[in-house]
Amino acid sequence: MTDATLADTAYAKINLALHVRRRMPDGYHALETLFAFCADGDDLTAAPADDLSLTIAGPFGEGLSAGADNLVLRAAEALRGAAGTTAGAAIRLAKRLPVASGIGGGSADAAAALRLLARLWRVNLPDETLHAIAAALGADVPACLASRACRGEGRGDALDFLDEGALGNMPVLLVNPRVAVPTGPVFARWDGIDRGPLATGEALAAALAGRNDLELPARAMQPVIGDVVAALMACPGATLARMSGSGATCFALFADTAERDAANGAIAAAHPDWWRLATTLRP
């Protein structure tokens, strides 16, 4: 990296709860969800360049397109257009999180690219403009842009941020059985039954009282997801174990890091082929 190179993190997103209320006329679903973000994720760097370019590396980078259809480059083009600049950037994405896994993926990468390039190009756009750019890229991108604990409604892009530190530094273990679960087919399998609203009030209590309405359809596609949730629930000290998003990544929250690390070791020994990330939630 040169002195002019900047870096940002595409923080892993988890849905502490995800209630699907109805299908809307535009094909999207009306959701109520509690977003939380981990301290770790994919890594992005950007350096000044004449043109826009993207290279992808990392353990989950193989096979991903680095062409104009990639959300990172789409975010870059959208920001460049809104800012009225012709500046370029050489962007490098280190893909450390599994793809099609319910923890942000391309949405988090696009959000990180917006933050990173706004700094690189010294773009000073209103928050409302950045939110609109993010929302046009995908329903989860606005939440990923902020990467703060919040409640999401509508498509998931109408955000109400939680008090600073409401969930911060809580130990969490992410586990993925290394199966991809595309979002569209999971939503298509949702049974259309509204099982009620997400509770308001204190975030963890609301999450514990909530559910993930996409877990059953995802498990119908990949039954191993049930095995992951069961393994996490069996770990001593796990206060909440659930699938995130449309899967297949699952998570467990813990009261302290020692219990989380013990769970990480136990799952590694029992299922060495499963991907794991022991981390904490961002403030």
pLDDT in tens, 174-205: 999 999 899 999 999 999 999 999 999 999 99
pLDDT in tens, 213-225: 999 999 999 999 9
Catalytic member of 13, 40, 157, 213: 13
Predicted confidence (pLDDT) at residue 83 exceeds the cutoff of 90: yes
Active site residue 191: no
Helices (H), the chain: 71-83, 105-120, 127-137, 141-146, 183-189, 203-209, 215-221, 224-233, 257-270
Q: How confident is the model at residue 67 (pLDDT cuts 50, 70, 90)?
A: very high
**In this structure, which topology does domain 6-161 adopt according to CATH?**
Ribosomal Protein S5; domain 2 (3.30.230)
Which regions of the chain carry the CATH code 3.30.70.890? Answer: 171-280
Q: Over the chain, what is the mean pLDDT?
A: 96
Catalytic member of 43, 109, 140, 213: 140
Predicted confidence (pLDDT) at residue 2 exceeds the cutoff of 70: no
Q: What is the pLDDT of residue 168?
A: 85
Token reading at 19:
């209630």
Q: Express as a percent the part of the chain with pLDDT over 90.
A: 95
Q: What is the pLDDT of residue 164?
A: 80
Mean pLDDT of 147-170: 93
Least confidently predicted of 29-43, 105-119, 154-168: 154-168
- 35 against 100, higher pLDDT: 35
- Pairing mode of beta strands 171-176, 250-254: antiparallel
Which regions of the chain carry the CATH code 3.30.230.10? Answer: 6-161
Active site residue 140: yes
What distance in Å separates the CA atoms of residue 11 and residue 107, rounded to the nearest whole number? 10
**In this structure, which topology does domain 171-280 adopt according to CATH?**
Alpha-Beta Plaits (3.30.70)
What distance in Å separates the CA atoms of residue 120 and residue 112, rounded to the nearest whole number? 12
pTM, two decimals, is: 0.96
Q: Is residue 200 exposed (0-12), middle (13-18) or buried (19+ Cβ within 10 Å)?
A: exposed
